[in-house]
């Protein structure tokens, strides 16, 4: 008599807990179930971070320093890299951080030189992790308005550069029988991103390349973790307090938390991880598991979102769905 009641109460409690986690969580279920970063995954390992002169890359570098990693930081801006190096030296000692200036749009020959220097650092032990984090700026504009120059630059920095670097470094990793690529993709690499079509295309390209690469080389010790963050709070994130939409603040995951979850995902060997609050996380689930509903939703809000972005409003607001139609 009692058993069905107990079973159904447990069931209801489970549903309530999961829904609560889904509504308030800042990542996908698998990622959040993993708990903390495994320190031993990074202790004394060589980790090469691109785009480490600011934003999420800088925060990743600092967190890796506290985890005892040997760090290579890359970007174009040397003075910013020097500043980051100085700050990391305070955590980890100056002999455990190196700067490699790198322009990802500079072509295969100059990337090759940088790769050769990377494998020679720290007495030539080799690179254990590459965090492909650098990306070209992503101003919001409609697909029709994207200038040719920005199209080329986005694909060069976000796609061709990281693939070249990977291809050039892989032989070294295969010789050691291990290597791990952590790829900063985006929610825009999983769902349509109205107003960011080319950026979205570049992130879908990364996902396709790196998941394929892993399927080819997994049994030879090559790991890939594709990380797809939604809106993240960085110094370059739009400041909603100055927008017309008073009191409506985009809820963004902090760059510290984004970096932490990225390292959780990598250290637990996850193949893909999503980092975001609602509603973006829910849209990712919809598009992944119920694409016809997800695409229907995106088609409904897309045009309006581009307009709101131009007014520097909240592009993640529920109002997009219920507001006035755009012509
Ligand atoms: N912030 C978000 O809301 C968000 C959301 C989802 C995904 N993401 C992804 O997370 C990653 C980091 O984002 P973020 O917001 O921290 O970026 P960010 O603040 O714009 O920093 C971009 C980094 O990339 C470097 N970079 C740009 N062009 C380069 C080039 N040609 N060669 C080499 N390095 C270059 C920049 O350094 P230099 O200018 O010194 O070269 C900088 O360190 C990106 O892949 C981004 O797509 C971010
Ligand atoms: C590098 O960053 C500094 C400080 O943010 C800036 O003043 C300088 O113009 C940048 N250098 C280049 C080459 O972009």
Any atom of ligand 1 within 6 Å of the Cβ of 206: no
Q: What's the gap in Å between 3 CA and the centre of ligand 1? A: 55
Residue with CA nearest ligand 2 atom 1: 77
DSSP string spanning 215-278?
Answer: HHHGGGTEEEEEEEE-SEE-TTS--GGGSSSTT-----EEHHHHHHHHHHHHHTT-SEEEE--T
Q: What is the pLDDT of residues 255-266, one digit of tens each?
A: 999 999 999 999
Mean pLDDT, rounded, for 171-187:
98
Report the share of the chain in percent with pLDDT over 90: 78
Residue 185 has pLDDT above 80, yes or no: yes
Q: What are the CA-CA distances from residue 15 to residues 9, 12, 37, 135, 277 (Å)?
A: 10, 5, 27, 39, 19
Mean pLDDT, rounded, for 75-88:
97
Any atom of ligand 1 within 6 Å of the Cβ of 54: yes
The confidence score (pLDDT) of residue 249 equals 61
Mean pLDDT, rounded, for 299-327:
77
Residue with CA nearest ligand 2 atom 9: 77
Q: What is the pLDDT of residues 221-267, one digit of tens each?
A: 999 999 999 999 987 766 544 444 444 567 899 999 999 999 999 99
Mean pLDDT, rounded, for 25-41:
97
Residue 320 has pLDDT above 70, yes or no: yes
Q: What is the pLDDT of residues 125-152, one digit of tens each?
A: 999 999 999 999 988 889 999 999 999 9
For the domain spanning 33-277, the CATH number is: 3.40.50.720
Residue with CA nearest ligand 1 atom 36: 51
The confidence score (pLDDT) of residue 250 equals 72
Q: What's the gap in Å between 125 CA and the centre of ligand 1? A: 27
- Residue 238 burial (CB < 10 Å; 0-12/13-18/19+)? middle
Rounded CA-CA distance 190/42 in Å is: 28
The confidence score (pLDDT) of residue 225 equals 98
Positions marked catalytic: 199
| Among 148-157, 270-279, 290-299, 310-319, the least confident range | 310-319
Mean pLDDT, rounded, for 271-275:
98
The confidence score (pLDDT) of residue 267 equals 98
User: Which ligand is nearest to the Cα of residue 76, counting in written order?
Assistant: 1
| Among 265-274, 283-292, 299-308, the least confident range | 299-308
Residue 18 has pLDDT above 90, yes or no: no
The confidence score (pLDDT) of residue 244 equals 44
The confidence score (pLDDT) of residue 64 equals 98
The confidence score (pLDDT) of residue 42 equals 98
Any atom of ligand 1 within 6 Å of the Cβ of 251: no
Q: What is the pLDDT of the chain when averaged over all its residues?
A: 92
Q: What's the gap in Å between 275 CA and the centre of ligand 1? A: 16
Pairing of strands 272-275, 222-229: parallel
Show Cβ contacts of residue 190 under 8 Å, excluding neighbours closer than 6 positions: 207, 228, 274, 284, 287, 288
Residue 46 has pLDDT above 60, yes or no: yes
The confidence score (pLDDT) of residue 223 equals 98
Any atom of ligand 1 within 6 Å of the Cβ of 33: no
Where does the pLDDT of residue 318 fall: very low under 50, low under 70, confident under 90, or very high at 90 and above? confident
| Among 80-84, 218-222, 307-311, 315-319, the least confident range | 315-319
pTM beyond 0.85: the answer is: yes
**Sequence-ordered strand ranges (E) for 43-187:** 46-50, 70-75, 97-101, 129-132, 179-184
Q: Is 187 helix (H, G, I), strand (E, B) or coil?
A: helix
């Amino acid at each position: 008599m009692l058993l069905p009641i107990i079973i159904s109460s447990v069931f209801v409690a489970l549903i309530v807990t999961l829904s609560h986690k889904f509504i308030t969580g800042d990542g996908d279920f698998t990622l959040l179930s993993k708990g903390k970063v495994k320190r031993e995954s990074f202790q004394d390992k060589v980790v090469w971070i691109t785009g480490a002169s600011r934003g999420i890359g800088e925060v990743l570098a600092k967190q890796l320093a506290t985890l005892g990693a040997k760090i290579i930081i890359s970007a174009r801006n040397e003075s910013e890299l020097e500043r980051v190096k100085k700050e990391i030296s305070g955590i980890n000692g100056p002999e455990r951080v190196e700067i490699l200036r790198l322009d990802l749009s500079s072509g295969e020959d100059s990337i090759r030189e940088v790769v050769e220097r990377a494998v020679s650092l720290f007495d030539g032990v080799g690179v254990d992790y590459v965090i492909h984090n650098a990306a070209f700026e992503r101003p919001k504009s409609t697909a029709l308005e994207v200038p040719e120059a920005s199209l080329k630059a986005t694909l060069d920095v976000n796609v061709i550069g990281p693939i070249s670097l990977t291809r050039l470094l892989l032989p070294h990793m295969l010789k050691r029988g291990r290597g791990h690529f952590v790829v900063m993709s985006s929610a825009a690499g999983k769902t349509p991103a109205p107003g960011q079509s080319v950026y979205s295309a570049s992130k879908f390209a990364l996902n396709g390349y790196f998941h394929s690469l892993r399927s080819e080389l997994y049994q030879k010790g090559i790991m890939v973790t594709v990380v797809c963050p939604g809106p993240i709070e960085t110094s370059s994130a739009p400041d909603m307090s100055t927008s017309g939409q008073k009191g409506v603040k985009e809820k963004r995951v902090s760059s510290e938390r984004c970096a932490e979850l990225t390292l959780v995902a990598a250290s637990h060997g996850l193949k893909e991880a999503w980092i975001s609050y609602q509603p973006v996380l829910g849209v990712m689930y919809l598009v992944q598991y119920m694409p016809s509903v997800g695409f229907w939703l995106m088609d409904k809000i897309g045009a309006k979102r581009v307009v709101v972005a131009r007014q520097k409003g909240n592009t993640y607001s529920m109002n997009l769905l219920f507001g006035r139609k755009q012509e």
